[in-house]
Structure 1
Amino acid sequence: MFVTECVIRHLYVSPGHNYFGRPKDGPGDHPTFDAAQIEVRAGKGIVGDRYFGVAAHFDAQITFVAWEVFAAVVDEFGLEDVAPHLMRRNVVTEGVNLNQLLGQEFTIDAGHGPVRFAGAKPCSPCAWMDAMLAPGAHKFLKGRGGLRARVLSDGVLARGPAVLTSAVALDAGSIAQPLPRPSLPG
């Protein structure tokens, strides 16, 4: 097993949907809370979040995005006063190559005991990124929009230093790099 020391910078929970429909319709007005800690339940997700226990979101019971990717967006588009919650992910990590956790089980211990997850799918950015961050952000984020995961054990995540344990060694040097695009034969 490989151990990665990391930081949980933000933990976002929203009890309602803000980004339904198309950006031209404008976002909803449900609050997004940056919690000091969150409680997760196996097979359900984040207690208090809009997707908690929703069967259609089985592979996205919790979502992660890298702080380094957020910083790359800010740098690429010269953004100021932009909050990471606009990336529409629950957990903002620093020091974790999330793309390498696709198809992997991993644990995160943020001081309350290890919580197990399974990296299920990449988070594809949506058209809202152009409206909420900057025109072109949607394209820029392709292949680096984060990780959708299943929650495999009950537990608590908290902001601050954390330890991630996985069966793969994570390459910190490529955290903000996009997933390679698949090449088709022929």
Structure 2
Amino acid sequence: MEFKELFGNYAQVGRVKAILIRPARLEAVLFVKEVMAVQNKGLTGDRYKTSGGSRQVTLIQLEHLKAVGSFLGRGAVDPALTRRNIVVEGINLLSLKNKQFKIGEAIFEYSGECHPCSRMEENLGTGGYNAMRGHGGITAKVILSGLIKEGDNIFPSII
């Protein structure tokens, strides 16, 4: 089997477990049941909803919240502390590199890894920054507007 074929094989589809928006820079995040993803802007109500840019939406794996908590010597980390927009389960987000993917009615495109910032030390405590390294998720651009809801599936496709 060739690599191109392997890159398209998934054991299952991913699923949206939580949606969060960040109204302003240092304000608390808000959990919402659904949100509109706006083409080339981001999520309605989120502070990053501006024209252009590669960091329109951030995604993190639920499985990684458990790993980060383990590195900190406790249970899974509260997704609000990571300040990511969409928490998913059941799909390796790094496997979406060089791909577009559909969540609910919206189409996204992988735009990079979402590395931790110094706020992780503040939000998670001593060692939070290093615990998040390699587990911060990905960033994505909104290619086609659409509604996203908790429980929606994530369907990858090769660009």
**TM-score, length-normalised on structure 2?**
0.85
Asked whether 1:165 is paired with 2:148, we answer no
In the alignment, structure 1 segments of 5+ residues that lack a partner are 19-29, 169-186
How much has 1:59 moved relative to structure 2? 0.6
Aligned residues: 150
CA contact (8 A) 1:118 1:151 kept: yes
CA deviations 1:107-129 (Å, max 9, x no partner) are 123xxxx3210000100111211
- Pairwise CA RMSD of aligned residues? 1.9
Query: Which residue in the other structure is 2:103 paired with?
Result: 108
- Counterpart Cα distance in 1 of 2:127 and 2:15: 28
Distance 1:145 1:81, change over 3 A: closer
Match of 1:40, SS?
A: strand
Pair 1:14 & 2:11 matched: no
Superposed, which structure 2 residues align to 1:10-159 within 5 Å? 10-18=18-26, 30-55=27-52, 58-79=53-74, 82-109=77-104, 114-159=105-150
CA distance in structure 2 between the aligned counterparts of 1:73 and 1:39, rounded to whole angstroms: 29
- How far apart, CA to CA, are the structure 2 residues paired with 1:2 and 1:158? 25
1:132-184 Cα deviation digits (max 9, x unpaired): 11322212322221110000111111112x3222236xxxxxxxxxxxxxxxx
Larger Rg: 1
Distance 1:103 1:88 in 2: 24
Contact 1:11 1:90 in 2 (8 A): yes
Question: Which digits, 9 at most, give the CA deviation of each residue in 1:75-113, with x for residues without a partner?
Answer: 22133695211112100001110111122111123xxxx
| SS, match of residue 24 in structure 2 | coil
TM-score normalised by length of structure 1? 0.73
